[in-house]
Amino acid sequence: MTWRTVVLALSVAWFYVGGGERAARADDGPRFTISIDREVWRKFAFQYPATYVFQVGEVPAEAKVLRRDGSGLWTALDAKTADDFFNGVECVRFDRRNRRAYVSAGFRTASTFELEFAGVGPVKFESVAHYYDGRKAAYTLSLDNWGCNPWAHPGAPWKGTTDDASDNYQAALHVCRGFHLPVSIAINSGSAGGEAMWQAMQAELDLGGRSWEPAVHGRTHPNNAAAYQVHGYHQEILGCRDDILRHLRNIPYGQHVFEHILTYGYQDETIQRTDSGEFLFLRGFNWHDNPTSTDYAAWNPKYRFYGIGGLSTKGYDALLERREPKGRYYARDVAELDEAFDRVLRSGGIFYALWHPDRFRNSVLYDPSPGEDGVRGSTLMQHLAYVANRKDVWYVANGWLYCYRYVAENARVAGGGK
C-alpha cells in the first residue's frame, strides 16, 4: 500500500466517522446564534435550558436540531415528544401539527452558542417560551431550614424516609425525588449539623439527577436587624453562600448559588444592598395563603435580582399543622390542597410551594399508607402524588426558575434563513 493510498483511506474514514456531525447537517440548514451578557454569564452560567420557539415548515422524520459552542463540534439535541416526561434537559420537540419547534438549550462553555436546523426549512425564531418546553403551568418547591435546628437531626445516619431518627431534610428530599419534584433547600450553614450535615448534602448531590438546589438561608437564622448585626449582614448572607460553595460540589447547572431565601421572611434595605447582583432571586415568606402569588417576581433594576417575591401560593405548613399528629391524612385537607393547585393549573400560573421539614415527624408526614382520616397516611403524600408527574406542568427549583426567566428576558437571538 502506497502512502497516497493510506492518506486516501484515512480521509474516507474521517468523512464517515469523525465527520458524522457534518454529515447530519450536510444541507447547511438555517442557523441561529444565541447570546447573553458575558459578565452576567460569568456570574451565573445559565446552564439551565431555556426553550426557544421557532416557526417551521415541513418537518420530515429525519429532521434534527444541532448545537455547538464556539468552534466546537456540532452535536444533535435529543428529540422528545409530548408523550415524554422530562424537565430541565436539552432537547428539541417538534410540534408538526402547529409547525413549531421547541428547542431547549442552555449556555455551557461561553456566553454564546449556535443552533442549526438540519432537514428543516424555512425556520423563523418566534420567542422564548413563557415556561420550559411551552408547558401550561409551573410548580416550584422549596424546603426551609436545613441545618437550623438540632431536633431535625441534620447529618444523622440514614435510617429510612419514615424513621424519625433520620435527617428530616434528607427524608424530605428522598420524598421529593421519588415524585420527580426538584426542590430548593434553604441552608443554615452555621447552626447545627456540622461536617456530618455537609456529608449528607454531598451524598444527595452525588446521586445526580438534578433533584435539588442548595440555596442561602443564612449562617444562623436572624429574624430582624438586630439579629443580623450580631455577625453582620455580609457574613450571614454571603458568608453562607461561600460556605455552600466551599463544602459542596456537583451543584446542578453549575457551581453557583442562585437564590437567597429570607429567614422568617424578614427584609430590609441592607439585605437588598448586600444581595445586589449576588443572587438571581430573593424568595420571601409568610405563613399565609397567597393566592395571587402565581407569576414570576419582577426584576428589581436597582438591586439587580428578581423579587422579593415567590410567596407560598398555598401555605402548606399552616394546613399540615392543623391537626395532631401534624400532617396526618384527612381527605378534606387533601382536597383543599389539590383545589389550590387546580386553580393555578387552570389559570396557567406558577404554584409556589414550601414546607419546613423540621416542624414534622418523618413517620407521619411521609407515611405512604393509603389514607384513612386521622388514622394512617399523610395529607402531604397524597397531595404530592396528585401534583406530580404531569406532562403539561414544568417542575423546577426556585433558582432554576429564575435562571430561565433571566435568559427569557435578556437572551439575544440572531440568524435564520432558508
Taking alpha carbons only, the member of 323, 331, 338, 319 closest to residue 385 is 338
Calpha distance 394→131 (Å, rounded): 7
List of residues 6+ apart from 25 with CB closer than 8 A: 64, 66, 74, 116, 118
pLDDT in tens, 293-326: 999 999 999 999 999 999 999 999 999 999 999 9
pLDDT in tens, 222-249: 999 999 999 999 999 999 999 999 999 9
Note the pLDDT of residue 416: 77
Contact 141, 184 (CB under 8 A): yes
pTM above 0.75, yes or no: yes
Beta-sheet strand order (sheet of 123-128): 79-80, 91-95, 100-105, 50-56, 123-128
Show the cell assigned to 31: 442557523
Strands 281-283 and 91-95: unpaired
pLDDT surpasses 90 at 175: yes
418 confidence band (pLDDT: 50, 70, 90): low
CA distances to 69, 181, 259 from 211, in Å:
26, 7, 16
**What is the mean pLDDT of the segment spanning 341-347?**
98
Among 7-11, 60-64, 268-272, which stretch is predicted with the lowest mean pLDDT? Answer: 7-11
Cα of 102 vs its chain's centroid, Å: 19
Interaxial angle between packed helices 379-387 and 168-178, expressed in degrees from 0 to 180 and rounded to the nearest 10: 40
Note the pLDDT of residue 13: 35
Note the pLDDT of residue 72: 86
DSSP alpha helix (H) spans, 210-277: 225-231, 233-247, 269-275
Mean pLDDT of all residues belonging to the chain: 93
**What is the mean pLDDT of the segment spanning 179-197?**
96
List of residues 6+ apart from 76 with CB closer than 8 A: 21, 24, 64, 65, 66, 118
DSSP state, residue 321 = T
**What's the number of CA atoms in the CB half-sphere (13 Å) around residue 399?**
30
pLDDT in tens, 16-72: 333 334 434 445 789 999 999 999 999 999 999 999 999 999 899 999 999 999 888
Calpha distance 32→404 (Å, rounded): 19
Q: Please give the helix or strand (H or E) that residue 103 lies within, else none.
A: strand 100-105
DSSP alpha helix (H) spans, 124-193: 168-178
